[in-house]
Amino acid sequence: MNKQTKTNYLIETVDEIAKHFKKESTIRDLDSIKDTIVHTAPEILNKRWMDIYLYCSRNFNNIENMNHFKALHIYNERYKGYKKTFV
């Protein structure tokens, strides 16, 4: 069994968020975040959480939109799991 890496965990988080959106520009933006994650040095990967947070807070802030709520929930749950596993 492969051990979960920080990089894979972050990529999976962005993928989970992306599942709830169909807009091409949103998918492109989230793919860009994943590209940044993949090219980030391991010692500073923790900083990529802020990139995800900032994107979500700027773009998924309609409390009446269930997909925005799901994105927030995914972010919060995955961040808790990340801290538990890697920090």
44 within a domain of the structure (yes/no) = yes
Long-range pairs of 70-76 with CB within 8 A, sequence gap ≥ 24: 70/20, 71/17, 71/20, 71/21, 74/13, 74/16, 74/17, 75/13, 75/17
Q: How many domains does the chain have?
A: 1
80 within a domain of the structure (yes/no) = yes
64 within a domain of the structure (yes/no) = yes
1 within a domain of the structure (yes/no) = no
Domain that holds residue 65: 6-86
Q: Which two tokens stand for residue 16?
A: 């989970």
Which pLDDT tens digits describe the chain residue by residue (87 residues)? Answer: 467 899 999 999 999 999 999 999 999 999 999 999 999 999 999 999 999 999 999 999 998 999 999 999 999 999 999 999 998
